[in-house]
Chains A and B, each alone.
Chain A
């Protein structure tokens, strides 16, 4: 088993341990404390179930395919359950929130804290928000102005670029025309050079032919001389033979003479032909000389042309120099344009950074807005709690009012009872006074005894009446 596999298994066990520990803490928390105020309690419970796929992945006795299938199916079901729970809870709470807000909106007209809340919390926040909005609009305006100026600069630069491009184009066209001209001149120069070379070659050929003809003439002259010598020798021989063999060989001599004359004629004919040929060759030589002269003339004209071409070349070179100068100027203009473009890029970058800061500020503003929203939500929850407390207080107040009313009623009854008691006391005193007067009268006569007896009976009835009243009072007060 590779070290990586072992490590993977160890990490799987570690995950399970982490989930189990978390579950233990969760159970402890649920048993020990009242966590019903937690709104996503079900979600917490579902998330603990995510330990099951990891436990399954560790169980080696389950077949691989079944294990993976179970794992992935569990992932699917658990995420589905988590989604359903979160969605439903969110729906419930959003509807409650809407209802609360509607209630708040409807009842807020009467609530005294509304104005104080608006004055103390919402107005300063609104002021800061409006201040920031104004700042942001100012910033936006400045950015817009900068953008406009940069756009104008960009347009001007584009125009310049366009003009310089047109100039560059015309220069390139001129350059191309010059290069074509130069090419034609080069071609012409080449043609002239070729012709010059041909003329020189022809001259050399003519000279060689002349030399050859001269050599042929010399050879013919040599042959003539040799023939002359032979003729002289033959004549000498003839003379000698004529002397020696005058008679014997007359016929032979005649024949020889005839042959000699024939050969002489032939030789003369040949010589004449050769001479005619030579004359022809001389003529051709003259023609060649003429041609050479013509060629020389054409060479001279070509040289003139070359001189003219040189002048043109110089003019073209001057043009090229001018063009190079213009190119240099263009390059300078391009560099200036590049610099301007760089400065534009720089301003653009600055603008971008400014827009970034603007975005950041906007983001911070949004974050503040979110914070304010959260604060509002908290305030709303606090308000709700306060309302609940107030309602509780109201009910308590109502209970207290009830109690007060009861006590007032009881007080009123007591006062009534007190009045009756006072009245009874007065009656008692009156009776006592009357009894004392009767006692006095008794002391004065016998008939008074009977009166006394009657008086005692009346007295006891009054005391019993008072006692009853006191008992009823005691019952009322619960003594």
Chain B
């Protein structure tokens, strides 16, 4: 399967733009929803919120990486070292941010386990 490179990167760039917007909105509405959540699970919810925030950062850095691939000349004229920065961002996503996202979700569930929910009959 051969995909035309310019179109392919543009599609991914478009997807990333929408992903960033929805991630940002998710973070905002999660923060608003925290008010209605049980007070005892606040710590767990905060950990989850933090994880979603990492998700937002991941999508944002993905957006920058694919923006550099879609409009290399335009961005290089603005920031000459953008290609090296994009490489660093790609590494940071997989080396740091993704494990942190997973760790936040895990911590949230562990904190949720400490809650004393009623036992299912």
**What is the interface of chain A, defined by CB distance below 8 A to chain B?**
4, 7-8, 11-12, 14-19, 21-22, 25-26, 29, 31-35, 37-40, 43-44, 47-48, 50-51, 54, 57, 63, 65-66, 68-69, 72-73, 75-76, 79-80, 82-83, 86-87, 89-90, 93-94, 97, 374, 377-378
| Contacting pair A37 B95 (CB below 8 A) | no
| Contacting pair B118 A33 (CB below 8 A) | yes
How many residues of B are in contact with the other chain, CB < 8 A?
52
| Contacting pair B105 A86 (CB below 8 A) | no
In the complex, chain A residues whose CB is within 8 Å of the CB of B113: 25, 29
In the complex, chain A residues whose CB is within 8 Å of the CB of B57: none
**Smallest beta-carbon distance A403→chain B, Å:** 28
**Smallest beta-carbon distance A68→chain B, Å:** 6
Q: Mark B50-81, 1 if CB is under 8 A from A, else 0.
A: 01100100110010001000000000000000
Q: Beyond A22-B106, A75-B59, is A83–B91 a contact (Cβ under 8 Å)? A: no
Tell me, in angstroms, the Cα distance from A50 to B55 when the chains sit together.
Answer: 9
| Contacting pair B30 A86 (CB below 8 A) | yes
Across the interface, name the chain B residue whose C-beta is closest to A79: B22
In the complex, chain B residues whose CB is within 8 Å of the CB of A25: 106, 109-110, 113
Tell me, in angstroms, the Cα distance from A14 to B105 when the chains sit together.
Answer: 13
In the complex, chain B residues whose CB is within 8 Å of the CB of A19: 102, 105-106
Whether, in the assembled complex, B86 has its beta carbon less than 8 Å from a beta carbon of chain A, the answer is no
Q: A22-B108, A37-B117, A69-B8 are in contact. List 18 more A-B contacts (CB 8 A).
A: A8-B91, A18-B102, A19-B105, A22-B102, A29-B109, A33-B117, A33-B118, A39-B38, A40-B48, A43-B33, A43-B48, A47-B51, A47-B105, A65-B8, A66-B1, A72-B66, A90-B32, A374-B39
Whether, in the assembled complex, B19 has its beta carbon less than 8 Å from a beta carbon of chain A, the answer is yes
| Contacting pair B105 A48 (CB below 8 A) | yes
In the complex, chain A residues whose CB is within 8 Å of the CB of B45: 40
Tally of A-B Cβ pairs under 8 angstroms: 155
Whether, in the assembled complex, B85 has its beta carbon less than 8 Å from a beta carbon of chain A, the answer is no
Which residues of B1-58 have CB atoms within 8 Å of chain A's CB atoms?
Answer: 1, 3, 8, 11-12, 15-16, 18-19, 22-23, 25-26, 29-30, 32-33, 35-39, 41, 45, 48, 51-52, 55, 58
Tell me, in angstroms, the Cα distance from A68 to B8 when the chains sit together.
Answer: 10
Q: Is the interface of B mostly helix, strand, loop or mixed?
A: helix
| Contacting pair B37 A39 (CB below 8 A) | yes
Across the interface, name the chain B residue whose C-beta is closest to A82: B26
**Smallest beta-carbon distance A367→chain B, Å:** 15
Tell me, in angstroms, the Cα distance from A97 to B113 when the chains sit together.
Answer: 28
**Smallest beta-carbon distance B55→chain A, Å:** 7
| Contacting pair A11 B98 (CB below 8 A) | yes
**Smallest beta-carbon distance B44→chain A, Å:** 9
Tell me, in angstroms, the Cα distance from A192 to B26 when the chains sit together.
Answer: 92
Across the interface, name the chain A residue whose C-beta is closest to B95: A11
Whether, in the assembled complex, B82 has its beta carbon less than 8 Å from a beta carbon of chain A, the answer is no
Q: Which of B16, B33, B95, B96 has the most CB of A within 10 A?
A: B33
In the A-B complex, the 4 residue pairs with the smallest Cβ-Cβ separation, listed nearest first, are: A18-B102, A33-B117, A86-B29, A79-B22
| Contacting pair B99 A11 (CB below 8 A) | yes
In the complex, chain B residues whose CB is within 8 Å of the CB of A68: 12
In the complex, chain A residues whose CB is within 8 Å of the CB of B19: 72, 75-76, 79-80
Q: Which of A16, A18, A34, A374 has the most CB of B within 10 A?
A: A18
Give the residue of B16, B22, B103 whose beta carbon is less than 8 angstroms from that of A83. Answer: B22
Which residues of B87-121 have CB atoms within 8 Å of chain A's CB atoms?
Answer: 91, 94-96, 98-99, 101-103, 105-106, 108-110, 112-113, 117-120
**Smallest beta-carbon distance B118→chain A, Å:** 5
Q: Beyond A34-B118, A39-B33, is A4–B91 a contact (Cβ under 8 Å)? A: yes
Tell me, in angstroms, the Cα distance from A33 to B112 when the chains sit together.
Answer: 11
